[in-house]
Amino acid sequence: MQTINQMKLEFLSVAENESFARVAVSAFAVQLDPTLDVLADIKTAVSEAVTNAIVHGYADGPGIVTVSAKLSDDGILDISVADQGRGIPDIQKAMQPFFTTQPEKERSGMGFSVMQTFMDRVKVESCPGEGTTVRMQKRLRERK
C-alpha cells in the first residue's frame, strides 16, 4: 500500500468549521471517484468526529482541531481528527451508544456509533488532559 496523496487542515474549534472540514475531506476523496453514498458516509463521519473535538475536547475553551487524510493506491481513505483538549478517561465507555457526558445539553451519545456505522474502521486514542485522535478508514474503490 502506497500513499498517492495526502492533506492536512488545522482550524479553530468553532462550530462553523465543522462543515468546512467535512466538505474539504469529501472533496479530497473525490479523486478516487467514490459513489455519492460513500461521500455522504465520509461527510457524516467527519462531521461527528469534528463535532466531538469541538464540543467535548474543547468544552473549556477554544483550541485547534487537526484533520488529515491520506489516499492509498489500494483505494483506501485514511482520516484522522485530532485535538489537544480534555481527552477521554474511558474510551470503551465513551464509545457505547447513548453515552454522553453532557445530557443537560441534549447530546444523543451516538457520535462514535455513527462513525462506526459509516466507516469501515474506527480507532480512538486518547489521554486525559492531552487530547484525542479519531482514526477512520473507508474503502473508496475495490482492489484491482
Catalogue the active-site residues: 48, 52, 107
Angle between helices 36-52 and 111-118 (to 10 degrees): 150
Q: Any alpha helices (H) in 53-101, and if so which ranges?
A: 91-94
CA–CA gap between residue 42 and residue 23 (Å, rounded): 9
CA–CA gap between residue 64 and residue 66 (Å, rounded): 6
**DSSP-assigned beta bridge partners for residue 132:** 83, 126
Q: Which of 45, 60, 48 is nearest to 128 (CA)?
A: 60
Helix (H, G, I), strand (E, B) or coil at 101: coil
